[in-house]
Homo-oligomer: A and B are copies of this chain.
Amino acid sequence: MSTKKKPQVTPTPERRRELLATAAEVFAAQGYNATTVRRIADEAGMLAGSLYYHFDSKESMLDEILSTFLDELWQGYDEVLAAGLGPRETIEALVTESFREIDRHRPAVAIYQKESKHLATQPRFAYLADSQAKFEKAWLGTLERGVTEGVFRDDLDIRLTYRFVRDTVWVAASWYRPGGHHSPEEIARQYLSMVLDGIALRT
Q: Which residues of A contact B (CB under 8 A)?
A: 29-34, 88, 114-115, 117-118, 150-154, 156-157, 160-161, 163-165, 167-168, 171-172, 174-175, 182, 187, 190-191, 193-201
A159 to chain B, nearest CB (A): 10
Asked whether, in the complex, the Cβ of A197 is within 8 Å of the Cβ of B195, the reply is no
Please provide the 6 A-B residue pairs with the shortest distance between their CB atoms, ordered closest to farther: A198-B198, A197-B198, A33-B34, A196-B200, A33-B33, A167-B171
The complex places the Cα of A117 from the Cα of B34 at a distance, in Å, of 13
A51 to chain B, nearest CB (A): 20
Asked whether, in the complex, the Cβ of B153 is within 8 Å of the Cβ of A201, the reply is yes
When distances are taken between beta carbons in the complex, the residues of chain B under 8 Å from A156 are: 190, 193-194, 199
Tallying the copies of this chain within the complex gives 2
When distances are taken between beta carbons in the complex, the residues of chain B under 8 Å from A193 are: 156
Asked whether, in the complex, the Cβ of A29 is within 8 Å of the Cβ of B194, the reply is no
Asked whether, in the complex, the Cβ of A160 is within 8 Å of the Cβ of B182, the reply is yes
When distances are taken between beta carbons in the complex, the residues of chain B under 8 Å from A33 are: 31, 33-34
The complex places the Cα of A198 from the Cα of B165 at a distance, in Å, of 11
Query: 15 A-B contacts, Cβ less than 8 Å apart?
Result: A30-B118, A88-B200, A150-B201, A151-B200, A156-B190, A157-B190, A160-B191, A161-B194, A161-B199, A167-B172, A171-B171, A195-B198, A197-B197, A197-B198, A198-B198
Asked whether, in the complex, the Cβ of A195 is within 8 Å of the Cβ of B196, the reply is no
- Cross-interface CB contact of A199 among B117, B152, B171, B190, cutoff 8 Å: B152
Which B residue sits closest to A155, measured CB to CB? B193
When distances are taken between beta carbons in the complex, the residues of chain B under 8 Å from A88 are: 200
Q: Known A-B contacts: A161-B194, A167-B174. Give 14 more (CB < 8 A).
A: A31-B31, A31-B114, A32-B34, A114-B114, A156-B194, A157-B182, A163-B175, A164-B194, A167-B168, A194-B195, A194-B198, A195-B198, A196-B200, A197-B197
